[in-house]
Homo-oligomer: A and B are copies of this chain.
Amino acid sequence: MDSLKDKSCIVGIGETEYSKNSGRSEMRLALEAIKTACNDAGINPKELDGIVRFSVDSNQVDEIARNLGLENLRFFPEVFFGGGAGCGTVQMAAMAVALGKAKYVACFRALNERSGFRYGQMAMAMPMMGHFQYSIPFGLMAPGSMVAVMAVRHMHLYGTKTTDFGEVAVAFRKHANKNPRAMMHSKTLTIEEHANARMIAYPLRLFDYCQESDGACAVIVTSPDRAKHLKQKPVYIMAAEQGTGSWMEMMTSYQRKDITDLEEYTRMAPHLWKEAGIGPKDIDCAQIYDAFTPLVIMQLESYGFCKRGEGGPFVRNGALEIGGKLPTNTSGGCLSEAYIHGMNQIIEGVRQLRGTSFVQVPKCKHVLVTSGSGIPTSALILRSA
């Protein structure tokens, strides 16, 4: 009984368009995504009695509620740690539904990350956050340079190649090329183009970096009973977890024994598989948080799709492409669809389980969705009805 398994489902998804300049406020983006998700589910936004946001979102829940005309909001925790929050917001919603704390919960993320504050220019904001003062003087001025430290260590220890990073980027780009909503829909990418792109933070080149995007995403969570009367086939939440690790620091957990071990996932994964009652081999499609290509390779190891150090060989020969061993980021992911802090990957997971993706995995029954790496994070296992 003390488990979340199958006690709630995702019944609505909503997105704005993804662009480099939305031309409107983050509040407006959030409201559009939430209303679209409600409409998709077949509920009136006024039926929402829970909202879970990213702590870093600029839209306060009271302002969202006022703008939607909600008068009886009963549940509104928030989840911190940037891109680590996505699946965590759905976990909180699932918990509320399971314990009768809310009937319909919206989880959302809205950001003008390209036309507004760009995370690649984080160094300005970082000195405010305690621990970054110890890494900035050594040139770690932005997320990419922080991840590069772990990537180069993975190459050194395990022989991982930069072409492996290329395999990841190319696989997701191929998916984006079939997804009209993806920012990179019309731009193809080859291994050679990846290898020859400009270096940004060794060993990471341009196409190892995710998009910078404006946009918003929302999902609606409710109970299986209520789902019966709604428009969509429900997608069940089999498991939901948050995770950390030893010597946890936002982006710079370099005091760990092994910096190629993304402990926030490694320590969380057993709980996740246990709650779901399935294992990596049962996953038909993965939505893996891909702010940078090496983090996909390391996550495959942490979640048990391959052994430690074997992430590089795993991704070769199109393993992550549709038709491969583990079709991953079928909408293009953060690398090629859009960077809505991974909320767009939850939405793509739902589409796969509804059978409505532009890059549909045949008979997709189980999906893993992960959130941000190198920070306190979260993950979901979803299944079709």
B-contacting residues of A (Cβ < 8 Å)? 1-4, 55, 60-63, 65-66, 70-81, 88, 91-92, 95-96, 98-101, 129-131, 241-250, 263, 267-268, 271, 275, 375-376
Contact across chains for B130 and A244 when beta carbons are under 8 A apart: no
A248 touching B88 in the complex, CB below 8 Å, given contacts A55-B55, A376-B76: no
A187 and B92 alpha carbons, distance in the complex (Å): 45
Contact across chains for A244 and B376 when beta carbons are under 8 A apart: no
Contact across chains for B66 and A242 when beta carbons are under 8 A apart: no
Contact across chains for A77 and B79 when beta carbons are under 8 A apart: yes
A137 and B204 alpha carbons, distance in the complex (Å): 51
Contact across chains for B92 and A77 when beta carbons are under 8 A apart: yes
Contact across chains for B244 and A3 when beta carbons are under 8 A apart: no
Cβ–Cβ < 8 Å partners of A3 in chain B: 99-100
Cβ–Cβ < 8 Å partners of A100 in chain B: 2-4, 275
A351 to chain B, nearest CB (A): 27
Contact across chains for B376 and A66 when beta carbons are under 8 A apart: no
A80 touching B76 in the complex, CB below 8 Å, given contacts A2-B98, A99-B3: yes
A142 to chain B, nearest CB (A): 19
A275 and B74 alpha carbons, distance in the complex (Å): 14
- With A62-B244, A78-B78 already in contact, 15 other A-B pairs whose C-beta atoms are closer than 8 Å: A1-B1, A2-B100, A4-B101, A60-B130, A61-B376, A62-B250, A65-B244, A66-B247, A66-B249, A71-B244, A71-B267, A74-B271, A77-B92, A92-B92, A98-B99
A258 to chain B, nearest CB (A): 13
The 10 nearest A-B residue pairs measured at CB: A2-B100, A71-B246, A73-B244, A77-B77, A62-B248, A95-B95, A77-B79, A3-B100, A4-B99, A77-B92
Option from B74, B80, B81, B99 in Cβ contact (under 8 Å) with A99: B99
A98 and B4 alpha carbons, distance in the complex (Å): 10
A74 touching B243 in the complex, CB below 8 Å, given contacts A62-B248, A62-B249, A80-B60: yes
Cβ–Cβ < 8 Å partners of A79 in chain B: 77-78
Contact across chains for A268 and B74 when beta carbons are under 8 A apart: yes
Contact across chains for A245 and B71 when beta carbons are under 8 A apart: yes
A-B pairs with beta carbons under 8 Å apart, 12 shown: A2-B98, A3-B99, A3-B100, A4-B99, A60-B80, A60-B130, A62-B376, A63-B131, A66-B249, A71-B245, A74-B244, A91-B101
A376 and B242 alpha carbons, distance in the complex (Å): 25
Contact across chains for A78 and B99 when beta carbons are under 8 A apart: no
Contact across chains for A73 and B271 when beta carbons are under 8 A apart: no
A63 touching B130 in the complex, CB below 8 Å, given contacts A76-B376, A77-B92, A241-B74: yes
Cβ–Cβ < 8 Å partners of A375 in chain B: 62
A105 and B243 alpha carbons, distance in the complex (Å): 14
Cβ–Cβ < 8 Å partners of A74 in chain B: 241-244, 268, 271
A65 and B98 alpha carbons, distance in the complex (Å): 28
Contact across chains for B66 and A248 when beta carbons are under 8 A apart: yes
